Structure 1
Amino acid sequence: MKAALVNRKMGLFLALAGILALAVAWWVEHVLHIMPCELCLVERWPWRILILIGVVDILLPGAAGGPVLWLAVPVLLTSIGLAACHVGVEWQWWPSPLPGCHAPHISGHTMAERLASMPLLPSKPCDAPTYLIPDLPISMSMMGGLYAAGILVAFCVWKYRVAHTARRIFY
């Protein structure tokens, strides 16, 4: 019973971490009116999955909940990998793997055909970093990767401490 309560706390932590990440992204997009690029939108998916993992762990502690927590590790590693990919694009180390991050392909022979082939909304290029804190050269992509790494470290430390405490009780 006590292990289920401990797992629920970690599930709540993971769900809140995902909600915080998505809340910051929403705030930047809707309050600061900074348009996200296609890679930014892809980087949000691991946080949505992390929320789902946390909710499953809260609702189904023990049998299904405890082992589900381990799915947070590949999800957070994916988030770190996506952030590293995006930072590499921002620093011009490689081109973006997503076609939406490149200049639009306008086709047609007449001006009407060219206008019709243009995207409805202009997209932000993925190699244009967004800096939230003035004079601090850390883009939102890098912040997201560092945040994911911090959550991953917190998860691993928590798992180690829970396992170490359980060993002390049984020996």
Structure 2
Amino acid sequence: MNTSKLLTIFAAGGSLALLLGAFGFQHIGDLAPCKLCLWQRWPHAAAVLIGGAVLITGQKVLNWLGALAAAATAGIGLYHTGVERGWWEGPSTCTSSSAGNMSADDFFNQVIGAPLIRCDEVAWSLMGLSMASWNAIASLILMAFWVRAATR
């Protein structure tokens, strides 16, 4: 087996492992994902499919799409990290916000209609980094494997 194929297997397998880990945290660890967590999963699923396509067709150029998928999930992970740390505001559908100039009725409706899983709260962390942060780090590493597979 050539080096490019092994790198593709490792990169796609890494995305599969991250997806399985996310599902494990959700279904075994009972940590429901927020909206941004779910967004981070889609590029990993695409990367797994792209890896399969590369292995079936032998088209190394598709590895660039894998790199793009890894970059996309890393970008979402970095964005999510910023939301969790309060560096910027996240989507209004999953982050808390101040009442500002809202009427009492509007504020009440916002609180009642708020989703249960907040994007701006860290549900789990390791060494001070949230799952979103770890996803970003791992995805940047996987992106490097995709690029290396494309250029070998």
TM-score bracket, normalised by the shorter chain, equals 0.7 to 0.9
Question: Which stretches in structure 1 are left out of the alignment for 5+ residues?
Answer: 104-108, 163-171
Which among 132, 135, 145 is matched to residue 154 of structure 1? 145
Q: Find out whether 1:76 has 2:76 as its counterpart.
A: no
9, 13, 16: which is aligned to 2:6? 9
Give a deviation string over 1:28-86, Cα, whole Å, max 9, x none: 0111101111000001111011001101011111xxx2111111222121111101110
* Alpha-carbon contact 1:11-1:53 (below 8 Å) kept: no
Percent same amino acid at aligned positions? Answer: 22
Matches within 5 A, 1:40-59: 40-59=37-56
**Secondary structure, aligned partner of 1:21:** helix
Match of 2:18 among 12, 17, 21: 21
* Corresponding residue for residue 126 of structure 1: 119
Pairwise CA distance, 1:158: 4.9
Q: Distance in 1 between matches of 2:76 and 2:4?
A: 27
Paired residue secondary structure (1:82): helix
Amino acid at match of 1:26: F
Superposed displacement of residue 94, structure 1: 1.1
Q: In structure 1, what is the Cα distance between the partners aligned to 2:57 and 2:4?
A: 10
Instruction: Tell me the matched-pair count.
Output: 140
| 2:46 alignment partner, SS class | helix
Q: Give how far 1:157 is off.
A: 4.3
Preserved contact between residue 35 and residue 123 of structure 1 (Cα < 8 Å)? no
Is this contact kept in 2: 1:49–1:75, CA < 8 A? Answer: yes
- Unpaired segments ≥5 residues, structure 2: 97-104
Q: Is the 8 A contact 1:100 1:123 kept in 2?
A: no
User: TM-score, structure 2 length as denominator?
Assistant: 0.80
* Partner in structure 2 of residue 166 of structure 1: none
Is the CA contact 1:131–1:137 (under 8 Å) kept in the aligned structure 2? no
Aligned AA (2:27): H
- 1:142 paired residue number: 133
Task: Report the Cα distance in structure 1 between the residues aligned to 2:11 and 2:81, rounded to whole angstroms.
Answer: 24
Q: CA deviation at 1:26?
A: 0.5
- Which residue in the other structure is 1:90 paired with? 84
Runs of 4+ in 1 over 4 A off after TM superposition: 157-160
Q: Distance in 1 between matches of 2:150 and 2:49?
A: 19
Partners of 1:125 and 1:86 in 2: CA distance: 11
CA–CA distance in structure 2, aligned partners of residues 90 and 58 of structure 1: 37
